[in-house]
Structure 1
Amino acid sequence: MIANAKPPTEIRRLRALHPEMRERDFARIHGISEAELVAAEVGRSAIRLRPDVEVLLNGLRAAGEVMALTRNESAVHEKIGPYEKVVIGPMASMVLGEQIDLRIFPSKWAFGFAVEKAGEEGAVRRSLQFFDAQGQAVHKVHARPATNLEAWSVLVTSLRHAEQADSIEIAPAAPVALPGEAADVATLREHWRALTDTHQFFGMLKKLNLPRLAAVEMVGEDLAWQLDAKAVEEMFASVAGTDLPIMAFVGNHGCIQIHAGPITNIKPMGPWLNVMDETFHLHLRLDHIASVWAVRKPTSDGHVTSVEVYDGNRELIIQFFGKRQEGSDERAGWRTAVERLPLHSQSNAA
């Protein structure tokens, strides 16, 4: 473990000088993690919580309408609704509601806090915030006007940590290393073409010792082809305001959050491409996009097409699919929309 970069008193002093700055931006500028920033307010506007996913998910069911937020460095995914159809598992837990759809990996959750801040016109903004061992946010839950605050308070009490110090110790990031020799193209294509379900894809990559983007780059253009960087904007333009339901996956190593349904209200703002629909908000940093790929995976019901967006560190930012029912082929409208997206310039030259 490593000590805090700054003592809590110094963090609070600096924060008082920049109260309007977004938490993530403030933490980055001052060389601390976001979790350390929140921890510095324990005993003031924050309560430290146990990162107990089972207690959290079961407790949130009684809270009614809330806003669930999952993000990575380049995309923010927000869904408004109740936590429903909770499934607790030993390695992963799920929320399978019509609005809030999550895949949670509890082993990555290290710190939790309940935060209350003054909002506009005397209102109180309440949130539950959870972080990994490096202090990076994995998932947040924000109260809404319709939230059952009595159930919210009961949940906070049940999750309250015995230790309420205003500092935490964060761990350095573990080095990522793939064991063994990576598979060759022929082996990758053999395994890829043998897929019968999209959920087998991660296991295939692990078995073949291949990072995701490396596999996508090498498998061949019949199964994955590179798109122009503006393909994401064009995809949004082609599906927005139609009845075509899409799926948008945004995640980090502790949580993946999914939207399934049509999208309507697209609002570009600076480097951000935003979706501002009634129960779904998405904020995507277009200037972080290094490559975009159309990816085709076989299933027992026909192939499934996705659009995958990667950053400069070769990490997956966001993934899009057409919404489909298990046992059915994907929607022709989605497949056509993807196949019409502009190719990367190198592909055009080939």
Structure 2
Amino acid sequence: MDSTSHHSPRIAYSFPAHTFDLRRVRPEWCFEADGGAALAIHLDGQWTEFFSNLRELGLVMVTAAHGPLSLAVAWERPWFQNYPGGDEWVCLSSGAELRPAALGGGMAVVETVGDQQVASFQFFDRGGEGCLKILVTNWSDYEVFEDLVARHASGRRPHPFGQKSEVRKEPPAPDSQTVRQLWKGLSRSLPDSAFPGMEGVSRLSALEAAGQDLAWRLPRRVVRQALQSMTLGQVPLGGAVRNEAVFLPSGFFPTHWGECGCGTTFFGEASQMTLRGCNHRGQTWATRFELGGDEVICIEFYDVRGEFAGGVGLRPEAASWQRDQWADVLKESGIVQ
């Protein structure tokens, strides 16, 4: 189901001109961005305080992207808590995770598109890549947006870019027998670039070793075809994007899709997923598990470096015939029966 709010299902995030004015908030630190199409102010990097107060903003639209996949989800009054034993923060209502240590900077941005404005907070990882965007919506408190900007405005970004996390050194490729022995554990783990149970082994290299009955590579056209079939059947989907700083999950019913310069976007009531275009190359795989006697097939996305970017599959409430339809489309691309 969609990550919807208790408000009207219509969520808008563009506003008439002059709704927002960053020069009124902190004129001394405003600068032009996107060739003069936007005004921006750097944030001070006090992420604990910023995200603690984010819930006061109300309903926001959040987007995250990595490699060939992007996801947008509605959050209502998000509240993040420390993850026990780790450096992540978890939002219990949405299941989203943040890694503040991976954030290299953030900005408040007001973009001008024709006679409309879009206001947002945009965050970057330590390599300078965009990792999270929080858009003000028609159900947000505009005064809180300006208050957060005023409290966290800064004349410079908090960290110099170019300090991404160290890339793991890949050991020799895992053998098929070991991967298959650990395969069930993979279905119970929260997906990232590492393969659980084999230290230092990447998830992608394990898929390559698993065997065609468990994991097989998917052409982009098959992924698009599968999602289009599920959209026409109004099938409940679940998906997630993971990047350097964010894990963003969502469940939704896609109602239609559209093509644009970004790629192919599947729209739900309060969320959307985009298969990004040719500028975001990578690999896409199907993974097959047995859970409680049922077959579960998911789609996994990887960027050009082989890092896990996200995934999508059917939600548990999907009917058996919907699962059969999903499996048939994906198996046609190469599974060994």
Task: Give the TM bin, normalised by the shorter chain.
Answer: 0.7 to 0.9
Alignment of structure 1 residues 18-29 onto 2, 5 Å: 19=36
Q: Distance in 1 between matches of 2:296 and 2:138?
A: 39
CA contact (8 A) 1:81 1:279 kept: no
Contact 1:235 1:338 in 2 (8 A): yes
Structure having the larger proportion of residues in strand: 2
User: Aligned runs of 1:1-350 on 2, under 5 Å?
Assistant: 16=35, 19=36, 45-89=39-83, 90-97=86-93, 101-121=95-115, 123-161=116-154, 164-165=155-156, 169-173=160-164, 175-178=166-169, 181-194=172-185, 197-199=188-190, 204-205=195-196, 207-269=198-260, 272-287=263-278, 288=280, 290-297=282-289, 304-324=296-316, 332-333=320-321, 335-343=323-331, 347=334
**1:144-183 residue CA offsets vs partner (Å, 9 max, x unmatched):** 233101222332334334xx14897322545523365553
Q: Which runs of 5+ in 1 are unaligned?
A: 1-11, 21-40
SS of match in other structure, 1:65: strand
TM-score, with structure 1 as normaliser: 0.73
- For 1:334 and 1:115, the matched residues in 2 are separated by 42
Q: Over aligned residue pairs, what C-alpha RMSD do you find?
A: 3.4
For 1:55, the aligned partner's letter is E
Q: Deviations over 1:115-171 (max 9, x none)?
A: 2344543x543211111111111111111233101222332334334xx14897322
Structure 1 or 2: more helix by fraction: 1
Question: TM-score, length-normalised on structure 2?
Answer: 0.75
Separation of aligned partners in 1, 2:303 and 2:288: 20
- Go from structure 1 to structure 2 and tell me whether the alpha carbon gap of 1:148 and 1:208 turns closer, same or farther (over 3 Å shift): same
Distance apart, 1:336 and its partner CA: 1.8
Alpha-carbon distance in structure 1 between the residues aligned to 2:75 and 2:125: 25
**Aligned residue-pair number:** 304
Alpha-carbon distance, 1:58 to partner: 2.6
- Rounded to whole Å, the distance in 2 between the matches of 1:200 and 1:73 is 15
Determine helix, strand or coil for the equivalent of 2:147: helix
Identical amino acids, percent of aligned pairs: 20
Letter in 2 for 1:322: L
Inter-CA distance 195–307: structure 2 relative to 1 (3 Å threshold): closer
**Which amino acid is 2:87 matched to?**
M
In structure 2, the CA distance between the partners of 1:73 and 1:60, relative to structure 1 (3 Å rule), is same
Which consecutive residues of structure 2, in runs of 5 or more, have no partner in the other structure?
A: 1-30
- Distance in 2 (CA, whole Å) between partners of 1:241 and 1:75 is 21
